[in-house]
Chain A
Amino acid sequence: GAVVSQHPSWVICKSGTSVKIECRSLDFQATTMFWYRQFPKQSLMLMATSNEGSKATYEQGVEKDKFLINHASLTLSTLTVTSAHPEDSSFYICSATGQGSDTGELFFGEGSRLTVL
């Protein structure tokens, strides 16, 4: 099956710093990628949708200036958490749909756990 890889799988940073998380589709071209955030014992919450070559669409309540998303190629999307604070500590997961997919099956990355001290 299609593979989506995230990096890093975990990161610890100091409050006020910025952290970049990469999401790559390894064996297919991802026209659309999604970023989710998941807090402990909770479901995945969609943060934004990014399409290659265009600006991301953010869900209500998600600050676009804080969570910068770039989808510069068909195989790479990045999420940058700017000026991170402890409340941004969470599990961030990306997913992608491939070109030609007519059923919308999502392929998920392994997730990236962010801890802000």
Chain B
Amino acid sequence: LAKTTQPISMDSYEGQEVNITCSHNNIATNDYITWYQQFPSQGPRFIIQGYKTKVTNEVASLFIPADRKSSTLSLPRVSLSDTAVYYCLVGGFSGNTPLVFGKGTRLSVIA
């Protein structure tokens, strides 16, 4: 499974856009990129998933360059409630379901 590397922590002020980049140099052809959010004492929650280019939903955008060796999660106008740990996972089903969590990025949003 592709290993992922993310910054350990990030700080941001409320209202700012936050971009968290994940490196996955060994991503395989059939791997998807999925981001999860985790609050303390809760299970991770799905944020967004993509394969290539750009994906946008109601909470975030995911940018994936052509070589797919990295991806960037973009959170528009963060609020205090976005303070959490964000994990990037790479993988796909058919025997290769994303299983391994990296260390994640601890985002702290400051008022």
A, B co-complexed: yes
| Given A43-B101, A104-B32, A105-B34; A111-B91 close (CB under 8 Å) | no
Of residues 61 to 92 in A, which have CB atoms within 8 Å of B's CB atoms?
Answer: 91
Closest Cβ neighbor of A98 among chain B residues: B93
* A32 vs B104: C-alpha distance when bound (angstroms): 24
Asked if B100 CB lies within 8 Å of chain A CBs, one says: yes
Of residues 25 to 53 in B, which have CB atoms within 8 Å of A's CB atoms?
Answer: 32, 34, 36, 41-46, 49
Which residue of A1, A46, A107, A111 is within 8 Å of B99 (Cβ)?
A46
| Given A43-B102, A102-B93; A113-B44 close (CB under 8 Å) | no
| Given A46-B100, A97-B97; A104-B91 close (CB under 8 Å) | yes
* A49 vs B91: C-alpha distance when bound (angstroms): 15
| Given A34-B99, A43-B101; A103-B49 close (CB under 8 Å) | yes
| Given A49-B99, A97-B93, A103-B92; A43-B87 close (CB under 8 Å) | yes
What mask results when residues 1 to 30 of chain A are scored 1 for a CB within 8 Å of chain B, else 0? 100101000000000000000000000000
Asked if B94 CB lies within 8 Å of chain A CBs, one says: yes
Asked if A101 CB lies within 8 Å of chain B CBs, one says: yes
Asked if B69 CB lies within 8 Å of chain A CBs, one says: no
| Given A34-B99, A43-B103, A107-B46; A91-B41 close (CB under 8 Å) | yes
Minimal beta-carbon separation of A96 from chain B (angstroms): 10
19 A-B pairs within 8 Å (CB atoms) are namely A4-B43, A36-B101, A43-B87, A43-B104, A44-B101, A46-B99, A46-B101, A49-B99, A104-B91, A105-B46, A106-B44, A106-B97, A107-B46, A108-B36, A108-B44, A108-B45, A111-B41, A111-B42, A111-B43
| Given A43-B101, A43-B102; A104-B41 close (CB under 8 Å) | no
